Amino acid sequence: MQLMHPGLKDLLLIDQYVKNKTIGFLSIETPIPPLVKKVTQSIQNYSIGLQLRREYRHISMGVRAFKLKDIDMIFVFEIYNQHLFSVLPLLALCGKEVLISLHGNQQFAMNSRIKFWGLLYLKKYLRFFSKLKVILFEIDDDVIPEKFRLPDSSKVIIPHPIISEATPKLMPGERLTTTAKTKIGVVGMIRQDKPISKLIEKLQDYIASNKDRCELIIGTPFGQKPDYLDKLGVKLYDTTKEDDYINVLRKIDILVIHYDKDRYYYRTSGVISDAGSCGCYIIASDYPVINHQVNCPIPIGATFSTFDEIGSLIDQGVTHIRDKGQDNHWIWREQRTAEAIAKLIFPEN
């Protein structure tokens, strides 16, 4: 099955650890028939065509729920709030227990009227259909305004899963040599909700003062790479392919990442989860969900409120990996495996 967020693929493994239920999985990443694709792409307004293709995918996902016969529960990976009006009735009518993974949907509803309407619609369904529940990542939604929260009886809270095949490069007890340069990295798409240009400028200032012991690495899909990155004089790596993306994360000792508060205050970071899986010490924006990702069940990094804190946090990170290596990361992984998450979703199992 293809997923919109590949970092969630370990959730496909949870059924291996559930004895009393059979789980079927649904994703909106499904092929669109050529005719539907051709018609929607012919629409002059790109946004309208895109929304029609997404609507088709949501309806198709709801229809596929009826084809999953010999199962007890359906796990829905990705939805868009504005397309819930058609898919929720189908999921409710299929007669199965349904878990819907909300990946940032409440956050998006804070800044979009149509997505807020979709969230209200979801809340109504959750109150009337006891078999329908939502998966929240990392922490409860009591940190956001009440109108964006979901009914307590309908929420299941789990950590963001690790990438099981990506492991820290240092085994427990191993340490970096004192002569090795610490590799500080920035990884991900350079886009508006990830204002990385400001961060890179701050990191360059730090590197300039610590050339003998640190170097900067940037990993980003080259197809979307801003031209100014080529002028920075730092090591650039193409992360278009998943294997290349993981390899870059495994090169990095300290990952530094900053997000826009309006888009990530109540939302997990896939890059942070992936980097943690690879053993990176994480320095990230101090928002509730991200703070939990970085510090639970044991710290694998630190969070910052202002850019002025970054230099001292890098110093702290260098000391941490010299003293503790990636020991904490191996402990951090234990509660984020498919087996551990299965126990949270199905405590009776």
Q: How far apart are CA 160 and CA 207, in angstroms?
A: 31
Task: Determine contact, residues 245/274, Cβ cutoff 8 Å.
Answer: yes
**Where do the CATH 3.40.50.2000 domains begin and end in the chain?**
182-334
Q: What percent of the chain has pLDDT over 70?
A: 98
> When comparing pLDDT for 282 and 235, which is higher?
282
Bridge partner residues of 281 (DSSP): 254
> If you average pLDDT over residues 257-284, what whole number do you get?
93
325 pLDDT more than 90? yes
- From residue 248, alpha-carbon distances to 41, 76, 142, 210, 254 in Å are 35, 30, 36, 22, 12
Task: Determine contact, residues 98/119, Cβ cutoff 8 Å.
Answer: no
Q: Calculate the dihedral angle through the C-alpha atoms of 52, 57, 58, 63, rounding to the nearest 10 degrees.
A: 130
Nearest CA to 2 out of 68, 57, 53 is that of: 57
14 pLDDT more than 70? yes
Q: How far apart are CA 47 and CA 25, in angstroms?
A: 28
Confidence of residue 209 (pLDDT cuts 50, 70, 90): confident
pLDDT value, residue 309: 93
pLDDT value, residue 194: 54
192 pLDDT more than 80? no
| 120-124, 228-232, 302-306: the lowest-pLDDT one | 228-232
Q: What are phi and psi of 212, to 5 degrees?
A: -75, -20
Task: Determine contact, residues 83/118, Cβ cutoff 8 Å.
Answer: yes
CATH code at 182-334: 3.40.50.2000
Confidence of residue 345 (pLDDT cuts 50, 70, 90): very high
Considering only CA atoms, give the Rg of the chain.
21
What is the residue whose two structure tokens read 């809340």? Answer: 123
Confidence of residue 58 (pLDDT cuts 50, 70, 90): very high
The dihedral region occupied by 188, where left means phi > 0, alpha psi between -120 and 50, and beta the remainder, is left
Q: What are phi and psi of 186, to 5 degrees?
A: -125, 120
342 pLDDT more than 80? yes
> If you average pLDDT over residues 71-91, what whole number do you get?
91
